[in-house]
Structures are given as structure tokens and as C-alpha cells.
Amino acid sequence: MPTKNRIKQYVYDGIYHIYNRGVNKQSIFFEKADYAVFLSYIKDYLIPTNKEEIRQQLADLNLKNREKEKLIRKIGLKNYSSRISLLGYCLMPNHFHLLIHQKDERAIVEFMKSLCSRYTIFINKKYSRVGPLFQGAYKGVLVITEEQLVHLSYYIHKQAIITPQGLTLRDLRSQRPSSLPNYLGQIKQEWVKPDRILSWFNKNSERVGSYREFMSISSDNNSEFPIAELKID
């Protein structure tokens, strides 16, 4: 029997809700640092690579071997910045959600293969494990309407909120890593593109019709976003 929501058709200029979970529903993030590594990999793939600048850095005779190896790996990485836009994300202990806009029909296939393979290698090496990390191929739903897109962002960001009742910015200290702080104006991750969805809301986060109101998050006196330590700029 075919797996539900496994993508069967990829379309040019399509937006997809992409998700997957750990094999046998087991964890894919075992500690806080693992979330940061996963996000750093996304950043690597979605920030344009300036190869000329990297070559100039490699020419520095005082460059340490560790930094040199890091730059060499970076220049060899595939880059999807011209083919993929990440509109939103949320990372859970045993699964993830990504909201992706692809520019061509094969972008998501190649991006997800790069991301998941690289992260699986990292986890297997770090925790001395073998075998697959994820439960089969990732799943995906093609977004048809703008209304569906907006409500998908709500659904994905709500996964990050553990205690939604009476939530304020202060309460977000214990929440899961997500693109929500980008939407609330707390941080700006260059590789996250919230503008398309935010265009439907009041730009003033304190006003009626703002994304903060949409997510039912009230303001308080503490403007510092709690998971800054996981922020991958």
C-alpha cells in the first residue's frame, strides 16, 4: 500500500509542506546541539556561496588547517539558493516540518537528499549508530492556495509551541526550534523567507491583524527571544 502524502508529482514553482520522522518513530534530535547542526546544514545549502571569497581566504598562509578543511568542504558543497526558498520550519524531537518553495521540478528531491543524507551521517558518527535515521522517504503535500499556505504556516509554528494557553513572548523560552521568531521580528535568518506569508498581515506586530495576533501570542516586557542560543544567522 503506498505511503500517504509521499510526493508523486513535482511541479515547477511549487510550494510543499515537507515532513519526516525518525525510523520506528524514534528521535532524530538527541540533544540541543543536534538541532543547531541540522539548521546549520540548511543554512549551508541555502546561503549563496561566494567561491571567489573562499579562494581568497584559502590563500591566507596563516590559515589554520582546521579552518582550511572547513572552507574546502564548503566550496565543494552543493548550493540550492537559486532553486529553493525555505518559507518556514519546525524541528521536533522525532520529526521535522519544512515549508519549501522550489523553482524547478527537481529542486526538492536533490535538496532533501543532500540534507537528510548529510545529517544521517553526522548522527550515526556522533552516536556510534548504523542504518537509516529517517522512516523511509520524506512526505510532502503540494500547497494549492494562498489560504492553505498561510494556515500551513500556522500549523507548523504551532508545533513549536508546547503550552499555547495564554502564551507570551516570555513563555517561548521552552519552545522548540522553528522559524516563528523570524515571523515575529525577533530574529532574521537570511535563509528563511517569511515575506510572502507576512504580506497577508499587518506589519506592525503590536496591531490588530499582525502575525503575532494570528498565532495568539501576546507581548510582554521581555523582547529577547528565548532560543537565541540556537539561532543560526
C-alpha cell at 127: 552516536
Write phi, then psi, for 4 (nearest 5 degrees).
-65, 135
Q: Does 8 fall in a domain?
A: no
| Residue 110, domain extent | 15-230
Q: Does 42 fall in a domain?
A: yes
pLDDT tens series, the chain, 233 aa: 345 666 667 899 999 999 999 999 999 999 999 999 999 999 999 998 777 777 777 778 888 888 777 777 777 789 999 999 999 999 999 999 999 999 999 999 999 999 999 999 999 999 999 999 999 999 999 999 999 999 999 999 998 886 655 555 555 555 789 999 999 888 999 999 999 999 999 877 666 789 988 988 765 544 333 333 455 55
Number of domains in the chain: 1
Distance, CA of 88 to CA of 156 (rounded, Å): 8
pTM over 0.75: yes
Q: Does 2 fall in a domain?
A: no
Q: Does 125 fall in a domain?
A: yes
Cβ density class 34-67: b for 16+ within 10 Å, e for less: bbbebbebbbbbbeebeeeeeeeeeeeeeeeeee
Q: What is the CATH number of the domain that holds 112?
A: 3.30.70.1290
Q: Does 45 fall in a domain?
A: yes
| DSSP notation for 61-108 | TT--HHHHHHHHHHHHS---TTTEEEEEEEE-SSEEEEEEEESSTTHH
C-alpha cell at 230: 540556537
Q: Does 3 fall in a domain?
A: no
Q: Does 187 fall in a domain?
A: yes
Q: Does 101 fall in a domain?
A: yes
